[in-house]
Every structure is written in C-alpha cells, then in structure tokens.
Amino acid sequence: MSNPQILSDELKSVYADKKTGKLFVFAKQANSTKFSTILVADGEIVGIEYCGEHNDEALQLLLSSQITQVIFVAVPVPESDRSANLVGMASVLERIEGNADTTRRSDTEIAEDLRSEALKMLDGLFGAASSKKIDRIAAKYPPSERPLEFLAACHKIIESVFGKAVAERTLAHLHRRLKEDELR
C-alpha cells in the first residue's frame, strides 16, 4: 500500500464512522521518524500538528514526508484543542490523493528518467559513443525491469576507463533517485 494511501484509508474510515479521537501518523523525514497528530471530532478534522507546524502548514509538510504508519485512538477531543478555519475532510482527502497522484511515478517514467540521466552522465565522459553504450546496456538490462543491473553496467563501463571513484561520484545521484523511487 502506498504511503499516502494508508492515511487516506484511515481518514475515510474516521469520516464514514463519524469517529472522535486522535490519529497518530508516523512519517520519515530526512533520516528520522516523526509523528503527526490529527485531531478528529464527529468524523471531521479539527486540528493537525506536525514538526512544530499546525493545520495547513502541518498537512503540507506531512504530505511531503514518507508516511509509514497510521494509528487511530478513540479519545475525547476538548473544545480547547480544536482549531477554527480548518479545511473539511473531503478537501483534505482530495489533497492527499492529489499529492499521491503527483508523486507516484510509473516504472516506465522511472526507467525513461534513469536511461536519459545515465546517457547525460556517460555523454560527458564518452561523447558521441555514449548513446550506443547506453543502448547496449538497456538491451541487456532494460531499466524498467532491471534498474539496478542497468546502473551497475553503467558503473562498470565508467569504472573500466576512469576508475572506481569517478564511477561512484558520477552515478551517486542516480542511485539515490532510484532508491527514493523504490520507497514510494
């Protein structure tokens, strides 16, 4: 299940059952896990807090993080904890699902990106011959099916001519981007 989908499903349940309580949303941000508190009353969101931010700013920050877990706890929510001027549940769900649509990329998009980025990297090192090198690698290791092997083959070609340090430095950001795409 995708990260935003976990939150979306839980919020839909809260809304449908008109629940009151707290949603604890655990999310990775940088190298640490943080949690958000979403207060709900009678199925509507009445407060959001995340990383010191509140309401709309907190929601925006939360949606840019990697959501890992959502837990609902049924507890009374005092009037003093409720915020005014919050966006309705339907609007929040629309934002979550809209955010998921824009951040999720298909394997084909990822593969095309990987191939074009690798071509740019090799082009700077090998010039006109890079296109043929990338074509050969992609024929053997299609980036859409075997992205890690594709990158490893690119690494091997660069390393054979320029050394391991240049190969690692040249392809480091592609390895990071591939890892990020795998986590979504």
One-letter amino acid of 14: V
- Determine if the pTM surpasses 0.85: no
pLDDT score at 105: 54
Span of 14-18, 30-34, 58-62, 175-179 with lowest mean pLDDT: 175-179
24 has pLDDT over 90 = yes
Q: Would you place residue 184 in the very low, low, confident or very high pLDDT band (cuts 50, 70, 90)?
A: very low
77 has pLDDT over 60 = yes
Nearest partner of 131 among 106, 139, 107, 175, judged by Cα? 139
pLDDT digits (tens, 9 = 90+) for 117-165: 888 878 878 888 888 988 899 899 888 888 889 889 988 988 998 889 8
Mean pLDDT of the chain: 82
pLDDT score at 153: 92
At what angle are helices 89-103 and 55-63 packed, to 10 degrees?
Answer: 30
Q: Which helix (H) or strand (E) holds 16?
A: helix 3-16
pLDDT digits (tens, 9 = 90+) for 79-120: 877 776 566 788 788 888 776 544 445 666 667 778 888 888
12 three-state secondary structure = helix
Residue spans of the domains in the chain: they are 3-103, 107-183
Q: What is the CA radius of gyration of the chain?
A: 22
Contact 71, 23 (CB under 8 A): yes
